[in-house]
Amino acid sequence: MSIIGVIMGELLVSKNGIGYLIMYGSQVFNIDLVIAGVFILGIISYLMYLIVDRFEKKET
């Protein structure tokens, strides 16, 4: 769920940042920009998941 949330959040508000990089790359048919943006979003979402998971384990 965190991956979907990060990707949708980035693509909906893509005036700058990683979401903009993905949208711009798809408009100019530069697949390298799109893949790099999705890869970076995947890493960010995984790190966010780890942070939330640690907080949940700490509370129990």
Rounded CA separation 36/55 (Å): 29
Helices assigned H by DSSP within the chain = 2-12, 18-27, 31-59
Give the model confidence (pLDDT) of 28-38 as tens digits.
Answer: 999 999 999 88
Using 50, 70 and 90 to split pLDDT, how confident is the model at 50?
Answer: very high
Rounded to the nearest integer, the mean pLDDT of the chain is 83
Q: How many CB atoms lie within 10 A of CB 59?
A: 6
Cα torsion 55, 56, 59, 60: sign: negative
Query: What pTM did the predictor assign?
Result: 0.69
For the record, the structure tokens of 40 come out as 């970076």
Domain ranges of the chain: 2-59
